[in-house]
Amino acid sequence: MAHMEKTDRPMNKLKKDETTTGPSPVSVTRTISSPARKYRAKPLSKQDVISNESLHFWRKKYEDMIHYVRESGVSVEDADDDEVIRLLAEWNGNVKDAVLNGEKGRAWRKENLPIPRAEVLPTLKTGKFVFAGYDKVGRAICYYRVKFHNPRQFAPLQSVKAVVYLYEEMRAEGRLRGAEEICVVVDRTDAKSANMDIEFMKLLYTMLKESYPARGELFLVLGVNFIFRKIWENLVSVFLDAKSRSATHLLKDKKELLDFIEEGELVEWLGGKLPYTFVPPLDE
């Protein structure tokens, strides 16, 4: 894909003749030329996203977004270009949705970040959340080991904060690749009904979509039987938007994980070759 066209001027101050409508939106992980065209699952850099062929489109959308912000009074004008692009990509170029949900996400981050280690330490000690390896297109893999989760012990927000803490830790250490996306593997191996937490899953989807737009791009739910599939379809899937539903894959067994993750990047406990031993974090 062509490199980004350089300009020293802020995107919201470009000349009017540079804001003509261009091709359809290009998200951080997809290239879409029409609603019927399927995306190609490949993590893209910011330079890839603002390619020559789509540059005019994004400039126009950016200006539309700034105009909407000023008219509506929503205070997100200090958002950097990367965040604006991700928001527009996440919400399919819908300026109003991008602004309103972007504000929700920014409010959540302002209220909750940085997350104190002591606050999430009890959750981390369970070993139910593990970051290990990368999927076939470079997303960092976050494993959610359902059998170690007790909904009566941890509220949904506590669990979400633990995921965010680990993600931000990897981000700070430079261990995230490309577009900083993650692949969430919901590992239901040996899990019982008492471990199920539908509200946590709903909150995780919402938090990623609003607070980390165009980053939570793939959800793999492992160990799906007939009963769980019906529960998912009736209690979770109906809650999700079309993009989140299409990013979620319900898998029967471990072998299906290899469609998304190379054997060498899949942890050994799921039949892969990536060694991983959970070491409980120490108290501060």
Average pLDDT for the chain: 79
Q: How many residues does the chain have?
A: 284
User: pLDDT-derived band of residue 100, with 50, 70 and 90 as boundaries?
Assistant: confident
Last residue of a domain, one of 112, 133, 159: 112
Tell how strand 129-134 and strand 140-145 pair up: antiparallel
Q: Are residues 123 and 249 in the same domain?
A: yes
Q: Which tokens belong to 161? A: 């904060």
Q: How many domains are contained in the chain?
A: 2
Boundaries of domain holding 168: 117-270
Q: What is the pLDDT of residue 70?
A: 60
pLDDT digits (tens, 9 = 90+) for 140-176: 999 999 999 999 999 999 999 999 999 999 998 888 8
What does the CA dihedral 220, 226, 229, 233 come to, rounded to 10 degrees? 160
Residue 278 counted as domain residue? no
Residue 192 counted as domain residue? yes
Q: Which of 112-121, 147-156, 236-245 has the lowest mean pLDDT?
A: 236-245
* Measured distance CA(44)–CA(4) in Å, rounded: 12
Flag whether pLDDT at 95 surpasses 90.
no
Query: 3-state DSSP call for residue 119?
Result: helix
Q: Are residues 43 and 164 in the same domain?
A: no
Flag whether pLDDT at 26 surpasses 70.
no
Q: Are residues 72 and 135 in the same domain?
A: no
What's the rounded mean pLDDT across residues 256-284?
Answer: 94
Exposed / middle / buried, residue 254 (Cβ in 10 Å: 0-12, 13-18, 19+)? middle
